[in-house]
């Protein structure tokens, strides 16, 4: 079994999902009391949050690349950034490491196509919904991405940063997200990507009438499968 290196704390609320899902998947595959060989580098979220809102992404890239190198020196054989937004600096982390890097958008795109879909909605932070780094990665795989309107994007973003990363789950926010997903369905999407790893803490398929792609779960499952693979 290969050792998984998780760059987490982005936020820790969703890093918990990664740790739980990875170990559950390894136990399911190997049986008994097996669990994953894993390492976590968890950052102080306020530090990186301040940087991204100041547009200082180069410093974020340096910080996460340093984290990746630390994990590799400690024995990690594959690296993940446990976040959709912070995969904006995936290239910096990839360049700094000599072990494979598992990009969250590649995992999500593969799952969308595996389920026979081509047109999906995307919820996430403003960075994910409005900047090209994530949407272009999906488009390169042949996935058409639809994002909500400007006012809805603002609401989604605000709920993430004022509530979800702090572990606050409100029924009113769940209902608002469900209405936004309904609007995306009216635009012909076949499914919706929960493109912030905290969103799946708030809403699931039982709350809406369309297939959802919970990115933290999918990313964690892919990491476990990679760790267990022989290739």
Q: Are residues 75 and 135 in the same domain?
A: no
Q: How far is residue 14's CA from residue 22's CA, in Å, rounded to a whole number?
A: 13
Q: Where are the alpha helices (DSSP H) in the chain?
A: 12-30, 45-53, 57-73, 90-96, 104-114, 126-130, 132-139, 150-162, 171-186, 199-202, 215-228
What's the pLDDT score for residue 231? 55
Q: Are residues 72 and 86 in the same domain?
A: yes
Task: Give tens-digit pLDDT for 77-125.
Answer: 999 999 999 999 999 999 999 999 999 999 999 999 999 999 999 999 9
Q: Are residues 110 and 182 in the same domain?
A: yes
Q: pTM score, two decimals?
A: 0.94
Task: Give tens-digit pLDDT for 5-57.
Answer: 999 999 999 999 999 999 999 999 999 999 999 999 999 999 999 999 999 99
Cβ–Cβ under 8 Å, residues 138 and 105 = yes
Q: Are residues 140 and 192 in the same domain?
A: yes
The total number of structural domains that make up the chain: 2
Q: Return the structure tokens found at 142.
A: 């042949």
Q: Are residues 88 and 162 in the same domain?
A: no
Query: Which residue segment(s) compose the domain that 222 sits in?
Result: 4-104+218-228
Task: Give tens-digit pLDDT for 131-146.
Answer: 999 999 999 999 999 9
Q: Are residues 17 and 28 in the same domain?
A: yes
- Average pLDDT over the chain reads 96
What CATH number does the domain containing 127 carry?
Answer: 3.40.50.1860
What's the pLDDT score for residue 209? 84
Task: Give tens-digit pLDDT for 182-197.
Answer: 999 999 999 999 999 9
């Amino acid at each position: 079994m290969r050792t998984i290196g998780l760059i987490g704390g982005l936020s820790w609320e969703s890093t918990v999902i990664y740790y739980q899902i990875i170990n559950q998947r390894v136990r399911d595959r190997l049986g008994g009391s097996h669990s994953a060989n894993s390492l976590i580098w968890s950052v102080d979220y306020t530090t990186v949050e301040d940087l991204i809102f100041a547009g200082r992404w180069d410093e974020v890239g340096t910080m996460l690349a340093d984290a990746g190198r630390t994990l590799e020196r400690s024995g990690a054989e594959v690296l993940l950034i446990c976040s959709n937004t912070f995969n904006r600096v995936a290239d910096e982390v990839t360049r700094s490491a000599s072990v494979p890097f598992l990009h969250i958008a590649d995992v999500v795109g593969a799952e969308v196509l595996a389920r026979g879909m081509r047109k999906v909605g995307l919820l996430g932070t403003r960075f994910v919904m409005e900047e090209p780094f994530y949407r272009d990665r999906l488009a390169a795989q042949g996935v058409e991405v639809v994002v909500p309107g400007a006012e809805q994007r603002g609401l989604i973003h605000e709920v993430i940063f004022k509530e979800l990363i702090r572990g606050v789950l409100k029924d009113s926010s769940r209902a608002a997200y469900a209405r936004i997903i309904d609007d995306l369905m009216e635009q012909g999407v076949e499914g919706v990507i929960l493109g912030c790893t905290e969103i799946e803490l708030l809403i699931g398929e039982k709350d809406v009438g369309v297939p959802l792609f919970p990115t933290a779960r999918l990313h964690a499952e892919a990491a476990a499968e990679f760790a267990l693979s022989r290739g």
